[in-house]
Amino acid sequence: MTMQAASTEIASRTAAIIDEMKGLEGPLLPILHSIQEEFGHVPKDALPVIADGLNLSRAEVHGVVSFYHDFRAKPAGRHVLKLCQAEACQSMGSEAVAAKVKQLLGIDFHETARDGSVTLEPVYCLGLCACSPSAMLDGEVIGRLDDEKIEEIVAEVRS
């Protein structure tokens, strides 16, 4: 019963978002961003509602959602830590940074800690290439990562 209630709830909140945004030219990406903001991920139950609202097939909507790295199928941890692994950061030891963070958090890339505290993800460039290696924690940017900053980040996501 609760599952059903949840899915009705998702459908109605999704429908409200679609109503608000369907007048945009090319509304699908803005709608998906709003849905992810609302629920923390793009719930499966939202897809048929979007398909209906925009007169698309469910397959088309699924195709778009699954194409983009940003859209999550399930909620992330309370914190999201993204470590840049692109070339400029590689030249400043981003691989060692990633290894250290993974070890301290006990998780790999694309995983969420078992206590739900943090999701760890690689990112390919944050545009902080003259401040490498860099990271983004919950939307805040951090440059020139060193052991001290890594420990600060780990302490923050664990608290």
Among the listed ranges 1-9, 85-93, 103-111, 112-120, the one in contact with another protein (CB under 8 A) is: 85-93
Q: How far is the CB of 8 from another protein (least distance, A)?
A: 26
Closest CA to 71 of 50, 102, 98, 99: 50
Per rule CB under 8 A, is residue 86 in the interface with another protein? yes
CA–CA dist 136, 121 (Å, integer):
10
Is 23 a binding residue for another protein by CB under 8 A? The answer is: no
Residue with tokens 């409200």: 16
In whole angstroms, give the CA distance from residue 29 to residue 7. Answer: 22
How many residues at the interface with another protein, by CB under 8 A? 42
Residues 102-131 that bind another protein (CB under 8 A): 123-131
CB of 107 to another protein, least distance (A): 20
Give 33-38 contacts, CB < 8 A, sequence gap 24+.
33/70, 36/70, 36/71, 36/72, 38/13
Which spans of this chain sit near another protein (rule: CB under 8 A)?
24-30, 32-33, 54, 63-64, 67-71, 86-92, 123-132, 134, 136, 139-144
